[in-house]
Amino acid sequence: MIAPPWRHFSFRCSSTPDAYVVCVLEQLHRALNNRDVFASPSHRWSNPRARLLDGPDWDAVEEDVLAGLSLDMPVEEHLAELVRGLDAGWKQLAERLEEAGPAANSSATSSAS
């Protein structure tokens, strides 16, 4: 799809095919920035997920990576601890909202608008 500002130059001005090329390059640059397209030989514009380690390669470096991140427990336990903390925070928020009652809810909405 050609962006509206470029339509006039791309279709009506047949003597300037460069406008179409610039339009395509602009859209490619936007897609690269949005990570909608990747340029595989590039480090900056390549797919970062393609460089993730998996299987035996990950198993070989997992211990060093976790130590570098100061994770002294298995990943599953670390994530479970984070989930427990998040769950406790949500429960505390729900209790405070219940204690505050409906008046707090209506005053919060009126002050936000």
In tens, the pLDDT along 3-28 reads: 666 555 555 555 566 777 777 888 88
Domain membership of residue 34 (yes or no) is yes
9 in Cβ contact with 19 (< 8 Å): yes
Domain membership of residue 38 (yes or no) is yes
Domain membership of residue 39 (yes or no) is yes
What is the total count of domains within the chain? 1
Domain membership of residue 102 (yes or no) is no
User: Is 113 a residue whose pLDDT tops 60?
Assistant: no
Q: Fill in the amino acid letter for 53.
A: L
Task: Report the distance separating Cα 28 and Cα 37, nearest Å.
Answer: 8
Q: Average pLDDT of 84-111?
A: 82
Of 45 and 86, more confident: 86
Which pLDDT band, with edges at 50, 70 and 90, does 112 fall under? low
Domain membership of residue 2 (yes or no) is yes
Longest dimension (CA), the chain: 72
pLDDT at 9: 55
User: What range does the domain containing 24 cover?
Assistant: 1-52
